[in-house]
Amino acid sequence: MKKAFVTGITGQDGAYLAQILLEKGYRVYGAYRRVSSVNFWRMKDLGVLGDPNLELVEYDLIDQANAIQLIGRLRPDEVYNLGAQSFVGVSFDQPIATASITGIGAVHLLEAIRIIDPGIRYYQASTSEMFGKVQAVPQDELTPFYPRSPYGAAKLYAHWMTVNYRESYGIFGASGILFNHESPLRGKEFVTRKITDGVASIACGQLDCLELGNLDAKRDWGYAQEYAEGMWRMLQAKEPDTFVLATGRTETVRDFVTMAFRAVDIDIAWEGREAEERGYDKRSGKTLVKVNPEFFRPAEVDLLVGNPAKAKQVLGWEATTTLEALCQMMVQADLQRRDHGYSF
């Protein structure tokens, strides 16, 4: 039985990856950090919590001793490093914590692998945020990096260290440059889920108006479950390498909002510019979306759209869920949560 050690098990991708690995017959060691109240709702939602082949272990990415002890004791075949301070907005307020968790955290694991067993395969959760300021459209594995946030810079460090351990020590270090991927399990601070949760609240009469930041930002949004499968494929490849996972389609935040309201039969029209912009219900004229400059970032990534050709060719991986289907799935899940009287 293959063994996988997965950091960030309590996050969106951790839950989907755990499900995929368990289905493939792995023993999964899910690493979570100690918090005052447990946050296992995503694993519960997917029905993996309590699986006899899922063992939860306490782990903090900032603790090197913890990495050495756990990798030494568990001796996994594969390590997936999904844990991170992953919110770009917060990284501007917490640049040092972000560097420590998101950047150096990866090196603690790479070092543990180098010292204990260089044969352990390592997956690094890299990101399209490393491309940052637009250098080329679409972005692929050869596009120059230009991170625009402390988060992007920390991830770029972890990415290069993965490549460095691959080249210096022959470690099987794969880096997945994943573009935004979303799902009903997405955290509510991220824009797609903030929107679908807000739209569900408005549809149920629990909220009057949704407040957002930059509506012009363009993102390449895919479905998280498919991206987790792509991570696994990277560790099964013949050679360790770097791969872009993306859909190849980009849309604005504004378009995603329009799409989400359409899922509850509300037709939105837009008027005004930048901080004055509002979205209103065409039928009633009521304002349902306002721009709040509080949600703007000190530096923005304007346009992300990936070219996943290499992943298709080498890994046979392809995104198949359309943005319309994904948006519909997320709105429906948020409506259902309200029916059941809870919302995470």
> Would you list which residues are annotated within the binding site for NADP(+)?
122
For 145, other C-beta atoms within 10 Å of its C-beta total 19
Instruction: Report the b/e string of 235-261 with b at 16+ CB within 10 A.
Output: beeeebbbbbbbbbebbebbebbbbbb
- Beta-bridge partner residues of 4: 28, 78
Indicate if 151 belongs to the active site.
yes
Question: What is the spatial distance between Cα 312 and Cα 75, in angstroms, rounded to a whole number?
Answer: 31
The binder of 247, among ligand NDP, ligand GDR, none, by C-beta within 5 to 8 A per type, is: none
The residues in 52-71 that bind ligand NDP, with binding defined as CB under 6 A, are 59-62
Q: Which of 4, 5, 13, 28 binds ligand NDP (CB under 6 A)?
A: 13
Q: Smallest distance from the beta carbon of 185 to ligand NDP, in angstroms?
A: 8
Per the residue annotation, which of 151, 157, 223, 227 is the catalytic one? 151
Indicate if 16 belongs to the active site.
no
Per the residue annotation, which of 7, 98, 102, 127 is the catalytic one? 127
Read off the tokens for 186.
């997405």
The residues in 258-317 that bind ligand GDR, with binding defined as CB under 6 A, are 295, 297, 300-301
Q: Which of 71, 79, 84, 88 binds ligand NDP (CB under 6 A)?
A: 84
Q: Which of 270, 240, 244, 247 is nearest to 257 (CA)?
A: 270
For 270, other C-beta atoms within 10 Å of its C-beta total 14
The binder of 109, among ligand NDP, ligand GDR, none, by C-beta within 5 to 8 A per type, is: none
Q: Which of 11, 15, 14 is nearest to 35 (CA)?
A: 11
Question: What is the spatial distance between Cα 279 and Cα 320, in angstroms, rounded to a whole number?
Answer: 30
The binder of 203, among ligand GDR, ligand NDP, none, by C-beta within 5 to 8 A per type, is: none
Chain-centroid distance, C-alpha 337? 22
Is residue 42 part of the contact set for ligand GDR (CB under 6 A)?
Answer: no
Q: Which of 27, 42, 121, 194 binds ligand GDR (CB under 6 A)?
A: 194
Binding site for ligand GDR (CB under 6 A): 86, 88-89, 127-129, 179-180, 189-191, 194, 212-214, 217, 219, 253, 295, 297, 300-301
